[in-house]
Structure 1
Amino acid sequence: MEGGEEKEGKAEKVMEGMASIALLPNGSISGHFIQLPHSICYGLHGIELECERECSRGEDYRLIRLTVTDYNSKSERDVVVECKGHDAAKICNTDHAHGWQKDVVGMLEEKHGKHKISVSFECETLKAEEAAEDHLRKFMPKLVGMDAVVNIGRMTLAGLDFDADTEHERIEQND
């Protein structure tokens, strides 16, 4: 899947790599995604969306507005994702979030409608207490002392093309 995938006649950019995500006690997340094999780093920041939980969802289920930041171009893209499992062990798109589709997910699709972003993350290593603090000191020093747990695992981002957006902005500025 590296490079791109055909979808409705259009090449969709697929980035695969590793993510390190800190889950803070207030429910927000912060971290980074390293695209492999190029080792390009993207920022990840998410805040929990206040909304009613479906009765069929467990207490460990929540919606997050995830912002992916390209540090090179200073561009950002938002996508609503769902976190499943304790300590946000799995993160994926909300394609099947019944009852939330129109009001919660729709608000971001209106803003970034042309950017259908797909997110997939599954925790392979969970660090807590001293192991988490050591990891934070090394990779996310601003989060030290905030009692965060750290998830490390493979992540795939599809449909996120900062290069195309930068080129589009340059064309608009030249007009």
Structure 2
Amino acid sequence: MINTEIKPFSATAYKEGKFVDITEKDVLGKWSVFFFYPADFTFVCPTELGDLADHYAELQSRGVEVFSVSTDTHFTHKAWHDSSDTIGKINYFMVGDQAGNITNNFNVMREGQGLANRATFLMDPQGVIQAMEITAEGIGREAEDLMRKVKAAQYVASHPGEVCPAKWKEGEATLTPSLDLVGKI
């Protein structure tokens, strides 16, 4: 999936009190996060989505848009948003994918269940996947780690020839792969 382009889709999302139609064209031209989760009104999902909501302003400041996706409808997303304090703080797109088109495009549909796996995809402004993470049902994701990956991907994109080592944080040293560096790390 890394270095593959987003596939065409159309869906309706709930965002800031409105239903909005979106397509893959809405992703192009900016960095994007597709954040798949199994279902609304569940247990681990609201902890992840709330954590992501707490980092949304920082993501926006970096030119990143967030699309959370489940196979629930946009109506269900609105009901959850209206009934949960944690989900109520979400300002990013909550995409309804009841037909499973987007979930299948990213190959994260649970066979025979109609639910998405926990999966995160970071896409560059050309709609190309630069990072991904998929976890098992009971393993929640952390937005702070996603932020680190966003910063690293944006750094690498704007500094050709440099790479970010493990645990890299913004402002720290990077590496420039070369023959002279082989065996020196």
Give yes or no for TM over 0.5: no
Name the TM-score, length of structure 1 as normaliser. 0.28
* TM-score w.r.t. length of structure 2: 0.27
Name the one with the larger helix percent. 2
